[in-house]
Amino acid sequence: MSYLVNALSFLLELAFGAAAALFALRLLAEASRADFHNPLSQFVYRTTNPILAPIRKLLPNWRRINIAALLLIWLLMLLKRVLLFALLGAFPHVLGLVVLSIADTLDFILMFYVVLIFIWSLMSLFQVERYHPVYRLAGSLVDPLLRPLRGRLVAGGLDFAPWAVMIMLILARLLLVSPLADLGARLAIGL
In 3D, which of 30, 80, 76 has the Cα closest to residue 56?
A: 30
pLDDT at 115: 96
- pLDDT, position 1: 55
- Residue closest to 66 by CA, chosen among 109, 110, 27: 27
pLDDT reading at 19 higher than 90: yes
Report whether pLDDT(105) > 90. yes
Beta strands in 57-148, from DSSP E residues, in sequence order? none
Taking the model in full, what pTM does it have? 0.90
pLDDT on residue 190? 81
Longest dimension (CA), the chain: 56
pLDDT exceeds 70 at position 24: yes
User: What backbone torsions phi and psi does residue 103 show, to the nearest 5 degrees?
Assistant: -60, -40
Under DSSP, is residue 110 helix (H, G, I), strand (E, B) or coil?
helix
For residues 57 and 98, what is the distance between their CA atoms, to the nearest angstrom? 24
Cβ–Cβ < 8 Å for 139, 28: no
State the average pLDDT over residues 55-73: 93
Cα(82)–Cα(149) distance, integer angstroms? 40
For every residue of 18-60, DSSP letters joined together read HHHHHHHHHHHHHHTT--TTSHHHHHHHHHHHHHHHHHHHHS-
